[in-house]
Amino acid sequence: MKKYSHAWIAFMAIKRLELIATTTDEKVVSGVTDKVRTEATALVKWFKNYRDFVIKGAWYPDEVFKDMSTSHIVKYTPAEIDEKVTFRKLPATHSIFTMMSKKSPLLNKPYIIEDGNCADRCEAISHSIIDNFKMLFREEKGCPIATSGNHIAMRFFILSHYIADCHMPLHCDSRSFSNEKNIHGAIEKKWEDYITKAYKIDKDNNRFFYDPDGYPLPLKESDFTTNVENEIATRKYIHAWGGKNNNVWDFMSAVSQYSYLFSYFLIPKDFSNTQSMQEFTEETEWGRNFETYSAMIFSDAIDAIARIWLHIWIKYTDWLK
C-alpha cells in the first residue's frame, strides 16, 4: 500500500473504534463488554489529540525504516512435503478468513515460509507502545528519559502500516509480481487513487483536511471508500483474537496464512508474473472483481488494526489500575 492508503486505513481504524464505543446497533456490539466500549471511548479521545501525525506515522516504515524486504512481508510457498500443518483461526467476522476456510484448496496443505517477519514486528511494536506508556506514567514531567504522547501516537500509526501490509495478499505470496510488469505496484496505485481522489489532502502540512467529526474530509462520493466505511460501520466487533490465539503474534501469523491463501485464490498458480495488467484484469479472479476483493482487504485490515490497538490500550490501562 502507498502513503495515503495507509493513512486513511489508520484513520478508519479510529473511526471503527468510535463506532464500537457509540453505536446503538446491537448487531455490531453484541457480546462486547461495557469495559471494552468504555476503553474504546477513552482511546478515541486520546487519538484525536494526535490526528495530524497519522500520515507521517503510517508512512514512516517505508519512508524511514525501509525494512520492506523483511518486516512488511511473510512470504509463503506451497510445499510438496508430507508434513502436518496448522492453520490458525481468526474471528468469524474476518471476511478473508471466512471465505478461504470454505474455498481455498491450499487450506491445511503444507507450505514453506521463504522470508519475512511481519508478525514478529507487530508483536514487538505492540510491546514497545505499552512500555512507553508505562515510562510516560512513571517518570516526572520533563525527565530526559521519558517519552511523549506524540511519540506513542506515532508508534500506533507505525504499527498500523505493518498490520495493513500483512493483509495485502501479495505481501504473503512468494511469487514476485513486482518485476517489469509490476502488477503489485499497479494494484497499490489504484488503491492510492481511490483515496487521493476521494479526500481533500493538505499535502503542504502532511495531513488530511478534516470533516466536523475530525476524520478525512471527502471531496466527492466514492463507491470504494463508501463500501469500506459501510462495512466497518455494520460489521460485528469481536474483541477476542480468534481460535486459540492469545496475542498479536498469534493473530498476525493467522492473518498472514489467510493472506497467502487469498493470493492464490485471486491469482491462480499458472498466471505468470510476466503477464500484463490487462491480462490480470481479464484473466484473474481479482482483476474481474477488483473493487469487491480490495474492499475486503481494506475492511479486514481496519478491523484488525482497531482490535490490536484496543488490546494494547487495555493492557496498559489494566496495568495502570
Q: Say what the pTM is.
A: 0.97
Residue 84: per-residue pLDDT: 84
Q: What separation in angstroms does the CA of 178 have from each of 55, 58, 195, 275?
A: 25, 22, 22, 11
State the SS3 of 18-84.
HHHHHCCCHHHHCCCCHHHHHHHHHHHHHHCCCHHHHHHHHHHHHHHHCCCCCCCCCEEEECCCCCC
The domains of the chain are located at: 3-320
CA angle 29, 292, 4 (to 5 degrees): 80
In tens, the pLDDT along 9-63 reads 999 999 999 999 999 899 999 999 999 999 999 999 999 999 999 999 999 999 9
CA 29/CA 221 separation, integer angstroms: 28
Residue 179: per-residue pLDDT: 75
C-alpha grid cell, residue 250:
498469534
CA angle 306, 308, 314 (to 5 degrees): 100
Helices 34-47 & 3-22 angle (0-180, nearest 10): 140
Q: Which CATH class is domain 3-320?
A: mainly alpha
Helix, strand, coil fractions of the chain, as percent rounded to 5 = 60, 5, 35
Cβ count near 64 (within 10 Å): 10
CA angle 264, 77, 191 (to 5 degrees): 45
Tell me: pLDDT of 218 over 80: yes
Going by their DSSP bridges, the two strands 207-208 and 201-202 should be labelled as antiparallel
In tens, the pLDDT along 289-316 reads 999 999 999 999 999 999 999 999 999 9
In tens, the pLDDT along 85-128 reads 999 999 999 999 999 999 999 999 999 999 999 999 999 999 99
